[in-house]
Each structure stands twice: as C-alpha cells, then as structure tokens.
Amino acid sequence: MDEPIRRHHWIVRVTHWATFILIFAMASSGLQIYRAYPRFGERGGPYFPNLFHNTAFPEWMRLGGWLAGGINWHFFFMWPLIGFGLLYIGYMIVSGEWKKLAFGPRDVKPALEMMKYYLRIRKDHPPQGKHNALQKGAYTGAVLLGVLSVLTGLAIYKPVQLAWLTAAFGGFQAARYWHFWAVWLFVAFTIVHVVMVFAVDPPSLRAMVTGRYRGRFPSDEP
C-alpha cells in the first residue's frame, strides 16, 4: 500500500473549504437581491439576454428575506471571501505553487488528451503530475472568475466612487450582468468539481481535509 504523501498545505485546505461555503452564501444572498429587479437593462428595455429573465427563484434558494436583508448578508460574506481569496493567491505566489496550477499554451494539447480520457475516447490515463492540464485550466479559470466577480461586484457596490470601473464593464446594468453570470459559472464549476472528485479521484477529498494523499494514478509522474 502506498504511503500517504503530503498534498495540500493547511492554507490551501482552509481557503478551499471557506470559499466553498462562502460562494454559496454569496450566491444565495445575491438571488435575494436579484429578486428586486430580475432583469438586466434599464426599465422598459432593451434587456440583456437572460435565461432567468423575470424568474422568481424559490425562497429556499434565497438568503435575507427581503432586499435589505439580502444586501446585508451579501456584504457580510463579501469581505471574508475576498480575504480568503487573497490569502490563497498570496500563498500560491510565495510558495511557488502557482507554477503547478497556472494554465499555459503548452497545456492545451495535454488538456485535450485528458478530455479524451474522461470521454472514454482514450483508454490509457495521460501522464500527469500533481494536477493534470485539464484541472489546471479549470482552476486557472476559477481564479479568473473570482477576480471578475470581485471587480464587477465593486463596480456595482460603488458605481459613483468607482465610476471608471463601472464604465469599463459597460455601465451599471452591464456590470450587474457580468457579475451575475460570473457567479453562476463559479457555482457550475464547484458542482462539476465535486462530481469529478467522487467519480475520478475520491482520495483527493480526504487529502483536502487531512492534507495527505494516499494512492496515485499508475501513469502519474512525480
């Protein structure tokens, strides 16, 4: 039996689980805010394309009870989420771990090969290190979505003081629009991530709790 290896630093584990909880709290309180004006565009239109136009999300999905309550909860969770995000990015930079996670041009072909493996087109598992190229692409995309969520959120939060930022996203309603979809993509990433953990690599779940990983793919490279 393989000896457990050190896989994740405690900062990675803490920020991982904190982000997991906070992102759903932010999404839930955000839906409560969205309920007050469930569309994107000035009243009377034209409106931005939106599959959820005028959708009344059920109460169990919303946090806050009313508009002010949703805003209060959103702001309450916003700062811890930003703080944990900065802690994670800071650790990745200082430790050099970002080199193992950052997706670059050379990862495109390996990512396609990994996708073929998941789709059962390729039978053998492509070689990988700590993270395969497809994972690197997903994690890099998640970080970029996080940055987009923060910037669009600030553009909505302070549209007068940060008028230049709001204008950069196309105005207040456009900033709301990009903020809304960035969060939904983040939630979708989280769901797919959880499914893939259980379907492909269950030991990684324990590793994200204990920090140590037992087992490895036969084709993994150190």
Per domain, the residue ranges of the chain are 7-39+48-211
Higher pLDDT, 6 or 40: 40
For the cut 80, the answer to whether the pLDDT of residue 4 exceeds it is no
> For the residues 42-58, what does the mean pLDDT come to?
90
Q: Candidates 1.10.260.40, 2.60.40.10, 1.10.150.20, 1.20.950.20; correct CATH number of 7-39+48-211?
A: 1.20.950.20
For the cut 70, the answer to whether the pLDDT of residue 170 exceeds it is yes
pLDDT of residue 2: 57
Using CA atoms, how far apart are residues 159 and 174, in angstroms rounded to an integer?
Answer: 12
Q: Are 208 and 8 in contact (CB under 8 A)?
A: yes
For the cut 70, the answer to whether the pLDDT of residue 115 exceeds it is yes
Using CA atoms, how far apart are residues 204 and 193, in angstroms rounded to an integer?
Answer: 11
pTM: 0.83
Higher pLDDT, 204 or 168: 168
21-38 per-position pLDDT tens digit? 999 999 999 999 999 999
